[in-house]
């Protein structure tokens, strides 16, 4: 049994004085390309990563939930199915779970309560979607225990609904969907309009490296909402439901009709959709030089058109790009204003990338970066019983 799973079992026993019935696991994720496209009904290309949230659960006969997490020790959170109330400041992390049960209840499905203990090695708030990992580990467990018979995609949608309506975060579907449906050694090309998805193999020759800039993140939520509004404004201007239904040429032709900043926001989204599809083809074909080019263009577009990068992130990309050249790609990943960069690079270059970051990033920025060497991993699942 993995260390994290052992810790989840142990926390369960310490908290509830009995052993858990089952263990569930859901991964964090990294987006390879396709940023701020999900809420515009566009394309994204994330991979689930080998950092996981594990929960030990035992079903109850009543409708009560009791939850603990080792990330926020010392308090057992309690609520009843269908009586989640509204979020209050004391709820902190448990709002993600209450959001899920509230969404299940709102959809008319019945569910039984559970006792549960959460342990994770996904870094919290680092842009690797620890929140979706938490929701999906919990949602997958509840789906089984209460026999809701939801598909992995439906569990992901339920989690998104909970986060939108209960937690109050207007997130797209990407994080939940990849945590639910990731495949080992594959990224997932998701069409966020109809939620079709297609696994895309990541060539064996590539290392997946994530580097956290450790930039303190401030304006994330307000800037995120502002970008959404700007995108909606452009869609409205052209009378389309979302930017998915606008093409670059129409945008270019009507450029003068729009505030310059809105034009650039839309140009990012439209060009990013195209790059994301092209990157999926390049990965599939093992065309790393092309992938490198597309990831570089994506970064420039986020920097200049969407304006969501910060100087420290640009510096990290510059440091890694200088080592990698066309033998891999690097770009900022996630919502922006700090967070992480993702690099997909020839295995042989892994040590050189890590060394370059260690040598140059601190000197340039005064910050220490954290490096996560990852592999693409499987989506949420119950852990095999033999693991006990």
Q: Which residues are at the interface with ligand ADP (CB under 6 A)?
A: 53, 69, 71-72, 92-93, 96, 118, 120, 124-131, 134
CA distances from 163 to 110, 171, 209, 236 (A): 19, 7, 28, 25
CA distances from 250 to 152, 191, 242, 272, 317 (A): 37, 22, 14, 16, 32
137 vs 235, beta carbon nearer ligand ADP? 137
Q: What is the spatial distance between Cα 46 and Cα 38, in angstroms, rounded to a whole number? A: 11
Q: If contact means CB under 5 to 8 A according to the sort of partner, which of Mg ion, ligand ADP, none does residue 92 touch?
A: ligand ADP
* Contact indicator for 191, 203 with CB cutoff of 8 Å: no
Question: Among candidates 267, 198, 257, which has minimal Cα distance to 231?
Answer: 267
Helices (H), 215-310: 220-237, 248-253, 260-285, 288-304
Active site residue 175: yes
Q: Give φ, ψ of 239 to 5 degrees.
A: 65, 30
* Contact indicator for 263, 251 with CB cutoff of 8 Å: yes
Q: How many residues belong to the chain? A: 388
131 vs 273, beta carbon nearer Mg ion? 131
Of 131, 309, 360, 365, which lies in the binding site for Mg ion, with binding defined by CB under 5 A? 131
**To the nearest whole angstrom, how small is the minimum distance from the Cβ of residue 134 to ligand ADP?**
4
129 vs 292, beta carbon nearer ligand ADP? 129
**To the nearest whole angstrom, how small is the minimum distance from the Cβ of residue 335 to ligand ADP?**
8
Q: If contact means CB under 5 to 8 A according to the sort of partner, which of ligand ADP, Mg ion, none does residue 259 touch?
A: none
Continuous segment of H or E residues that includes residue 334? none
What mask, x for binding Mg ion by CB under 5 A, covers residues 268 to 307?
----------------------------------------
**361 class by beta-carbon count within 10 Å (0-12 exposed, 13-18 middle, 19+ buried):** buried
**To the nearest whole angstrom, how small is the minimum distance from the Cβ of residue 322 to ligand ADP?**
28
**To the nearest whole angstrom, how small is the minimum distance from the Cβ of residue 167 to ligand ADP?**
9
Q: If contact means CB under 5 to 8 A according to the sort of partner, which of ligand ADP, Mg ion, none does residue 380 touch?
A: none
128 vs 349, beta carbon nearer ligand ADP? 128
**Beta-sheet pairing, 328-333 with 340-346:** antiparallel
For 217, the token pair is 């993140």
* Contact indicator for 343, 31 with CB cutoff of 8 Å: no
Cβ–Cβ contacts within 10 Å for residue 52, how many?
Answer: 25
For 68, the token pair is 């603990």
27 vs 328, beta carbon nearer ligand ADP? 27
The region of 55-63, 112-120, 122-130, 272-280 touching Mg ion under the rule CB under 5 A is: 122-130
Q: If contact means CB under 5 to 8 A according to the sort of partner, which of Mg ion, ligand ADP, none does residue 53 touch?
A: ligand ADP
User: Considering all CA atoms of the chain, what is the largest pairwise distance in Å, rounded to the nearest integer?
Assistant: 68
Looking at the DSSP assignment, which residues form a beta bridge with residue 31?
Answer: 46
Catalytic residue among 115, 175, 305, 346: 175
Q: What is the spatial distance between Cα 88 and Cα 336, in angstroms, rounded to a whole number? A: 27
98 vs 303, beta carbon nearer ligand ADP? 98
**To the nearest whole angstrom, how small is the minimum distance from the Cβ of residue 163 to ligand ADP?**
8
Q: If contact means CB under 5 to 8 A according to the sort of partner, which of Mg ion, ligand ADP, none does residue 127 touch?
A: ligand ADP
**To the nearest whole angstrom, how small is the minimum distance from the Cβ of residue 132 to ligand ADP?**
6
Q: If contact means CB under 5 to 8 A according to the sort of partner, which of Mg ion, ligand ADP, none does residue 72 touch?
A: ligand ADP
| Active site residue ranges | 175
- Residues at the contact surface with Mg ion, assessed by CB under 5 A: 129, 131
């Amino acid at each position: 049994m993995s260390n994290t799973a052992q810790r989840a079992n142990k926390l369960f026993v310490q908290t509830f004085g009995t052993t858990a019935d089952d263990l569930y696991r859901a991964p964090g994720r990294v987006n390879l390309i396709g940023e701020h496209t999900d809420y515009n009904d566009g394309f994204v290309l994330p991979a689930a990563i080998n950092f996981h949230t594990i929960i030990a659960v035992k079903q109850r006969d009543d409708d009560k939930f009791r939850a603990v997490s080792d990330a926020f020790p010392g308090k057992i959170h309690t609520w009843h199915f269908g009586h989640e109330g509204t979020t209050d400041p004391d709820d902190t992390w448990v709002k993600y779970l209450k959001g899920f049960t509230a969404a299940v209840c709102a959809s008319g499905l019945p569910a039984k309560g559970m006792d549960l203990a959460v342990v994770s090695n996904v870094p919290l708030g680092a842009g690797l979607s620890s929140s979706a990992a938490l929701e999906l580990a919990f949602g997958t467990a509840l789906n089984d225990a209460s026999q809701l018979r939801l598909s992995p995609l439906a569990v992901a949608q339920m989690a998104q609904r909970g986060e939108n309506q209960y937690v109050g975060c207007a997130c797209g579907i990407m994080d939940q969907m990849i945590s639910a449906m990731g495949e080992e050694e594959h990224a997932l090309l998701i069409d966020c309009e109809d939620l079709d998805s297609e696994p895309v193999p990541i060539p064996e020759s590539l290392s997946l490296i994530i580097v956290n800039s450790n930039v303190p993140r401030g304006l994330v939520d307000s800037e995120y909402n502002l970008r959404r509004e700007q995108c909606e404004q452009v869609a409205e201007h052209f009378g389309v439901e979302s930017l998915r239904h606008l093409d670059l040429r129409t945008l270019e032709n009507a450029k003068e009709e729009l505030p310059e900043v809105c034009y650039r926001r839309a140009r990012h989204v439209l060009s990013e959709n195209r790059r994301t599809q092209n990157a999926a083809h390049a990965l599939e074909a093992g065309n790393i030089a092309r992938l490198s080019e597309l990831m570089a263009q994506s970064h420039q577009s986020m920097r200049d058109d969407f304006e969501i990068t910060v100087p420290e992130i640009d510096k990290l990309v510059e440091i890694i790009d200088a080592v990698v050249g066309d033998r891999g790609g690097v770009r900022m990943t996630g919502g922006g204003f700090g967070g992480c960069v993702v690099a997909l690079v020839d295995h042989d270059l892994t040590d050189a990338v890590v060394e370059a970051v260690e040598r140059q990033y601190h000197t340039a920025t005064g910050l220490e970066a954290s490096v996560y060497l990852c592999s693409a991993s499987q989506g949420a699942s119950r852990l095999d019983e033999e693991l006990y």
